[in-house]
Structure 1
C-alpha cells in the first residue's frame, strides 16, 4: 500500500507538493487533451473572425445614411434600408424588458430568499427552471402562438413578439438573480434581522440593492440574446417587408434578424451587401449592450 509520505513530499522551497500536482500536467494524455482544447478554441475564433471580416468586406459599401433612414425595397436593393427593422427591434426589446425583468427578478428573489426547498411545488419549479433554460428558442414561439390564438391576440404584433422573447429569457434572468443574491454574504441578512428588520425589509433594503449589479449584468446579457433571435418571431409570422414605423404594441413589426434573413435569401448581390451591413449594425448593438454590462459589473460590483 502506498504511504501518504510517498504521495506528499516537501519541495526544495519547503512547500508541500502533491504527486498529482507535480506530474499530472506532464503525462501524454493531459498534453493531448490540452492541445485539443486549444485547437478547438483557436478554430472557433478563426471561423468567427472569418465571418466577421467577410461581413465587413461585403457590407462596408452600404454603411451609409440610407441604411438607417430608408425602408426596405424589393425593387431597388441599392437604396434599401433597415429603418423599420431597427425601430421594430427597439420596440420588441423594450416590451421584452418590461415583461421579463420585473417578473424574473421577483421570481428569483422568492425562490432564493423565501421559498421552502422542502415543498414539492418549489422542487417542481426548480426542476422546470433548469430545463426551461435549455429549451430551443422556437419552442417559445410555438407556445406564444398557441397562447395568442387562445386569447384572440394577433400574432404579427409587437406585443406577441415581446411576449415570446420574454418567455425565452425569463429563466436566464431568474438564474442570474438567484446567483447574484447568493453572492451577498449571509452576515448582511443576519445583521439586518438582528436590528429588528423584517425579512421583506431585509431583502428590499439590504440584499436586493447589493445584488443589483449582478442582476443588471445578467438582464442585459439576456436581452442581448433576445436581440439576435429570429426563429420564434418568424414562427409568429414576423413580417419581412415593412415600409412603416411601428407605433404601438398592436403594430406590425420586423426586426433586424428577420430582415437580415430575408435579404440574405435573395440572389442579388446588392441584397447580400445590405444584409452584411445590417449584420454589422446588429453586431455593434450587441457589443454596446455587452460593454454596458461589463461597465456595470466592474463599476458597481462589490467584493465581499
Structure 2
C-alpha cells in the first residue's frame, strides 16, 4: 500500500531591511546580555525583599526589534510600565502579566500570593504598590547597566492594553530583553524594552577603523611592542663537515674572534651593536659598547 505524504513547505524567509538593520552585533549582544543578567539578579533580590517570597529572575534573551514587532508579541491585556527617559521621545517599557503583579501585592499585604483568575487593572492601592516596586526595579536597572544607560529614567505611567500604549513610534528600534520571573510557586514572563538610541551610542562601533593618514606612525608604534630574539655571538668559524662529525668531548675548536673585540649583539640574526660580557646579579649580562651605523 502506498502512503501519501503531504508536500513539505519551504520555510518563509523574513524580510530584512538593509537600510535599517534590526540585528545586534555579536559584541554588542554579549555586553547587553551580561548587563541584563546582572539586572535579573538585582531584580530577584529586590522582589524577595519587598514581596517577602523567595524570587528568582533569569534573563532568557536579548534582541533588537521595532516597537511594532515588540508590541505585537505582547498579550492584549498586560501590565506595561512606561518609563520616561530625559530628552528622549520614545519611552522604555517594563511589561509583565497583571495576574503576576497582583500575586506580588497579595503577598506584600500578608496573603499567600495566590494569583487571581484573570487579567484586570489595578486598584489605587495596588497601583501604588506596583509603582513602588517598579521605582526600585529602575534603580536596579541603572546600577546594572552602568555606563550603558547615561539618560535618567523614571516611571511615567502604567497601561494595560499593549495595542494602545504608544510608548514609541512603530518603526522605532528597541532593545528587548525577556525574563522568566519565579516568585514563590508562580512563574511568569516579563520583558524590558529600551530605545536603541539610548544604549547603542555607549556600545561603540562594532568594527572601528583608523585613518590611513597616520599609517606609518601606527605601524612604528605597533612594531615597537613586538618581542624579538636578542643574542650575543662570536665571529663564526668555518669548518668542514668532517670536523663537525668528528667532534668529541674534550676537543678544542678555535674561534677566529679577537680577544680585544666586543661580542656581536644580534637581533633576528642581524648585528646591531657591540657588547662586552658582564653580569647582573647571578645572571650573565652584556654591556653595550658601540652601535651599528
Please indicate, yes or no, whether the TM-score normalized by the shorter chain is above 0.5.
Answer: no
Give the number of the structure whose alpha-carbon radius of gyration is greater.
Answer: 2
TM range (shorter): under 0.3
TM-score, length of structure 1 as denominator length: 0.21
Higher relative contact order (CA 8 A, sep 6+): 1
Larger strand percent: 2
